[in-house]
Amino acid sequence: MPSIRVGAVNYLNSKPLVEGLTEFAGDLDLSLDLPSRLADQMAAHELEVGLIPVIEFLRAESYSFIPNIGITSHGPVLSVTLFSRVPWKDVRTVSLDEGSRTSAALTRILLEHRHRLTPQYRQLPIDEPAEAVSTDAVLLIGDRAMKACLPGFEFAYDLGHEWNEWTGLPMVFALWAVREGVDLASSEVAFAQAKQLGLRRAGVIATREAAALGLDAGFCRRYLTNIIRYDLGPRELAGLRRYHELAADLGAAPRGTNLVHYHRPHLVESRQR
Amino acid sequence: MPSIRVGAVNYLNSKPLVEGLTEFAGDLDLSLDLPSRLADQMAAHELEVGLIPVIEFLRAESYSFIPNIGITSHGPVLSVTLFSRVPWKDVRTVSLDEGSRTSAALTRILLEHRHRLTPQYRQLPIDEPAEAVSTDAVLLIGDRAMKACLPGFEFAYDLGHEWNEWTGLPMVFALWAVREGVDLASSEVAFAQAKQLGLRRAGVIATREAAALGLDAGFCRRYLTNIIRYDLGPRELAGLRRYHELAADLGAAPRGTNLVHYHRPHLVESRQR
């Protein structure tokens, strides 16, 4: 049986979803990489399945997703923060972390749709310290960003919280995308098994990962257990649909992408697209 | 003019409420101490005002509180965690951190009211490592507890989240209690001014306090800015009233305590009690 190539972002919050994944299904070949590279590898047919940011899922237009598994927040997310020198209403210039297009689009959604602003954007190069930016606000994301304190910025807006407060819905950051026509066969269940194991081993994962990240193990456990949520049910999908509409309005995602659950191709006669 | 003696718990989450407090009102004499000692000092008339845990406020029965200021959470609180080897329904024995009676009562409320359990409790002495307890679950609170990872415990229940999920209401942990008959006069406004300053200086406070706590400054900022909330409005008071009822049902607080806003004694003809 040929192996199924699986890619995931190498972030702390993805660890519980890949815990033991290759042990539950021997034909899965797992690699960890940057979000943008994963999307490219999916497009180039170098991966069959990818734990990818939702904006990449929407942009690809042709992927389905494994049901009930996602990286989401229902309030503060702690790892996606818009640091600002001024309150929302006065933000005129914004630096955007190159790391995630999903959070960059979320920033635009909140600025342009929620607060009806039309600020100027620039990219924050990965090697430029955020403290040094001259813009009113700077978006930081991911593991490195969790450690950012930036006392010089009076405001630190948690975009998971801001999204939830505005829409009343969870924010979905990533999900398991499956390339069109791929048959996971019996390996499909491994993704659910890995998630279940990962959630129960959150303390072990936190202990293991904290030192390499330069973060406190207790904080990592709270982040994985009490902040990030891994279910993808009706509420989360409603949040994802709302995000999709708003991102499409800004031209940050194509309008037509359907959200389709993965089904084994031979089990369904016609797959809705 | 005699000074007004003010006490506050010496926790990270109380720092934004005391930032600059004595500068805004020169007649305030601020001291930081343990929660239980503050309650004793209030009772002994050694303090006029105390930032005290809500259970101490309820137990005293005769205090009013400064309006619109509290230490609350609207979901995960990160610093009040019940680590458990088993899921809620199987918890039979619990060790309770000596630090806070408010969170100990919250633990009992969730176990006995929400989950309809009657577990056995024991005190966790301050010098006993939580990893070593033989009970099914252990409650840890406060700054020290935020660093606890406890990978040997599969479950880490955030009691702020559990409370919010169950009741739909915020959890109030502490407020500014004013002893009966005390006249704060023009100093009253200093408490609101300090809060306002503290919220805007959260990044500065986080940077300053993190090293001493052995916590990451970025995490401290997120905790102060995105997790702990400092307003005490109608929703928070509804949460406090619900907590009061449930704690009283368990005999953990007297039933009759009224929640009364502080008013300058000479400005009101009769104060509702």
Give the pLDDT confidence of B75-114 residue by residue, as tens digits: 999 999 999 999 999 999 999 987 778 999 999 999 999 9
Asked if B215 is an interface residue toward chain A (Cβ–Cβ < 8 A), one would say yes
Last residue within a domain, chosen from B144, B167, B190: B167
Question: What residues of B are in contact with residue A154 (Cβ under 8 Å)?
Answer: 200-201, 203
Question: Does residue A185 sit in the same domain as residue A259?
Answer: yes
Of A76, A161, A216, the CB nearest to B147: A216
Question: Does residue B131 sit in the same domain as residue B111?
Answer: yes
Contact across the interface for B206 and A149, Cβ inside 8 Å? yes
ipTM given for this complex: 0.90
What are the C-alpha distances in Å from B257 to residues B64, B140, B163, B248?
A: 10, 27, 21, 10
Using CA of residue B155, residue B160, residue B163, residue B164, what is the dihedral sign? negative
Asked if A203 is an interface residue toward chain B (Cβ–Cβ < 8 A), one would say yes
Domain-embedded: residue A272:
no
Helices (H), ranges, B11-100: 15-18, 21-24, 35-43, 54-60
- pLDDT at residue number A1: 56
SS3 B198: helix
Taking the C-alpha atoms of residue B67 and residue B49, their distance in angstroms, rounded to an integer, is 13
Domain-embedded: residue B273:
no
Question: Does residue B90 sit in the same domain as residue B153?
Answer: yes
Query: Quick one: tokens of B154?
Result: 């599969």
Asked if B76 is an interface residue toward chain A (Cβ–Cβ < 8 A), one would say yes
Ramachandran region, residue A14 (left: φ > 0; alpha: ψ -120 to 50; beta: rest): alpha
How far off is chain A from B74, nearest CA to CA, in Å? Answer: 9
Asked if B174 is an interface residue toward chain A (Cβ–Cβ < 8 A), one would say no
Question: Does residue A157 sit in the same domain as residue A28?
Answer: no
How far off is chain A from B17, nearest CA to CA, in Å? Answer: 16
Taking the C-alpha atoms of residue B6 and residue B4, their distance in angstroms, rounded to an integer, is 6
Question: Does residue B52 sit in the same domain as residue B112?
Answer: no
Higher pLDDT, B196 or A130: B196
Q: Report yes or no: A94 and A183 within 8 Å, Cβ to Cβ.
A: no
A239, pLDDT greater than 50: yes
The neighbouring-strand residues paired with B178 are B49, B64
Domain-embedded: residue A241:
yes
Of B75, B149, B158, the CB nearest to A206: B149
Consecutive H or E run containing A139: strand A137-141
Consecutive H or E run containing B204: helix B202-213
Query: Of A229, A179, A11, whose CA–CA distance to A99 is shortest?
Result: A11
Give the pLDDT mean for B220-239. 97
B271, pLDDT greater than 70: no
- pLDDT at residue number A18: 97
Residue A128: band (very low, low, confident or very high) from pLDDT cuts 50, 70, 90: confident
Domain-embedded: residue B232:
yes
Which residue type does A54 have? V
Question: Does residue B95 sit in the same domain as residue B112?
Answer: yes
pLDDT digit string, tens, across residues B158-215? 999 999 999 999 999 999 999 999 999 999 999 999 999 999 999 999 999 998 888 8
Inter-chain CB pairs, A–B, below 8 Å: 113
Consecutive H or E run containing B124: strand B120-124
Length of chain B: 273
Give backbone dihedrals phi and psi of B70, rounded to 5 degrees, phi first.
Answer: -160, 170
B265, pLDDT greater than 80: no
Query: Quick one: tokens of A66?
Result: 């494994």
Give the pLDDT mean for B65-81. 97
Question: Does residue B181 sit in the same domain as residue B240?
Answer: yes
Q: Tally Cβ neighbours within 10 Å of residue B15.
A: 20
What is the average pLDDT value for chain A, to the nearest integer? 93
Question: What residues of B are in contact with residue A155 (Cβ under 8 Å)?
Answer: 200
Q: Which of A85, A140, A149 to mutate to test the interface with B (most CBs of B within 10 A)?
A: A149
pLDDT digit string, tens, across residues A140-184? 998 878 889 999 999 999 999 999 999 999 999 999 999 999 999
Containing domain of residue A153, as a range? 80-167
Give the pLDDT mean for B53-82. 96
CA A60 to chain centroid, in Å, comes to 15
Question: Does residue A181 sit in the same domain as residue A258?
Answer: yes
How far off is chain B from A136, nearest CA to CA, in Å? Answer: 16
Using CA of residue A245, residue A246, residue A247, residue A250, what is the dihedral sign? positive
The neighbouring-strand residues paired with A131 are none
Give backbone dihedrals phi and psi of A141, rounded to 5 degrees, phi first.
Answer: -135, 165
Q: Report yes or no: A99 and A127 within 8 Å, Cβ to Cβ.
A: no
Domain-embedded: residue B272:
no
Q: Tally Cβ neighbours within 10 Å of residue A16.
A: 23
- pLDDT at residue number A267: 60
Q: Report yes or no: A198 and A19 within 8 Å, Cβ to Cβ.
A: yes
Asked if B197 is an interface residue toward chain A (Cβ–Cβ < 8 A), one would say no
CATH of residue B194: 3.40.190.10
DSSP state at residue A23: H
Question: Does residue A255 sit in the same domain as residue A181?
Answer: yes
A2, pLDDT greater than 80: no
Asked if B106 is an interface residue toward chain A (Cβ–Cβ < 8 A), one would say no
The total domain count for chain A is 2
Give the pLDDT mean for A227-235. 97
- pLDDT at residue number B202: 97
Question: Does residue A150 sit in the same domain as residue A181?
Answer: no
- pLDDT at residue number A271: 47
Taking the C-alpha atoms of residue A108 and residue A262, their distance in angstroms, rounded to an integer, is 30
Taking the C-alpha atoms of residue A94 and residue A83, their distance in angstroms, rounded to an integer, is 10
Asked if A168 is an interface residue toward chain B (Cβ–Cβ < 8 A), one would say no
Asked if B150 is an interface residue toward chain A (Cβ–Cβ < 8 A), one would say yes
Taking the C-alpha atoms of residue B199 and residue A12, their distance in angstroms, rounded to an integer, is 29
Query: Quick one: tokens of A189?
Result: 């269940």
Last residue within a domain, chosen from A123, A142, A167: A167
Contacts of residue B60, defined as CB under 8 A and 6 or more positions apart, other chains included, come to B39, B42, B43, B177, B257
How far off is chain B from A138, nearest CA to CA, in Å? Answer: 15
Q: What strands lie across the sheet with B137-141, from one edge to the other? A: B120-124, B93-97, B137-141, B80-84, B155-158
Last residue within a domain, chosen from A167, A191, A208: A167
Domain-embedded: residue B51:
yes
Question: Does residue A105 sit in the same domain as residue A183?
Answer: no
Kindly state the percentage of chain A with pLDDT values over 90.
80
Asked if B130 is an interface residue toward chain A (Cβ–Cβ < 8 A), one would say no
Residue pointed to by tokens 């706590």: B213
- pLDDT at residue number B145: 82
The neighbouring-strand residues paired with B96 are B123, B139
Question: Does residue B174 sit in the same domain as residue B259?
Answer: yes
